[in-house]
Amino acid sequence: MADRPILFSAPMVRALLSGTKTQTRRVLKQATGPSLSVGMDDDEPGVAALSWLWGDGPGHDVHETIKRVRCPYGQPGDRLYVRETWQAVNGNDRARHIVTHPAPDRGWIEYAATPRIDEPAYKWRPSIHMPRWASRITLDVTGIRVERLQDISEADAIAEGVNVHSDHHGKPRTVNRALQRIATMPAADTFAAGNSYLGLVGQATHSHHDQTRIASALRSRGHVVAGDINKIYRRGP
């Protein structure tokens, strides 16, 4: 099992903390060119197989190029520590007393996504410079795949942390839609989407009744719901 860094913006960090984001996608820069097909290599786990056709034009031979790219974020079972905009300061001092060694506790680390003071006097450090000891979020890699961006499913978009629309009363329109989607979406999608739905309805603007309705729908799809109704688990064999 390996630990690797991954960068997230402040809004995405807040989505991770609230539980509304359970997936992330990153651009595969090698995937360019016409007639491109993408998929995972059947023979080598964690490796994407990219293929595209090329030639000199009509009347000429067509060639296929295949390129294999290993996921830079590891394999299922590995962990990712989140890098975010931050600063290490001396206690609650607003002055810029920078700490350059690992902190014995995290009380003196400030994070731009959830600052404790509105206008700190110190400058934020870019996320790229966050060391492992300053990271507060560790993610478990449960699966990897490669796909075209436009092939994303609705369940995956929800798991990415997409905001829901609200009606004029401020209540999410998607509670009833979520129940319908949970009932009809493929079984493979219910775990990621279900956790994201629970994260959404667990926020302050939602009622406990909404949470229990979502939880009941997820139980009916075979998942185990935590006692505080904030996440689900896959049922064991």
pLDDT digits (tens, 9 = 90+) for 86-128: 987 764 444 344 444 444 554 478 889 988 777 666 788 899 9
Residues 6+ apart with CB under 8 A from 127: 7, 8, 83, 84, 85, 86
Q: What is the pLDDT of residue 203?
A: 61
Q: Tell me the range of 37-46, 54-63, 83-92, 200-209 where mean pLDDT is highest.
A: 83-92
Nearest to 113 by CA among 192, 9, 214: 9
End-to-end CA distance of the chain: 24
Question: How sure is the predictor about 232, in pLDDT bands with cuts at 50, 70 and 90?
Answer: confident
If one compares 146 and 24, the residue with the highest pLDDT of the two is 24
pTM value is 0.62
Q: Is the pLDDT of residue 170 over 50?
A: no
Sheet containing 79-83: order of strands: 3-7, 79-83, 138-140
Give the residue extent of every domain in the chain: 3-24+79-140, 37-70, 149-234
Question: How sure is the predictor about 236, in pLDDT bands with cuts at 50, 70 and 90?
Answer: low
Cα 165-14-120 angle, rounded to 5 deg: 125
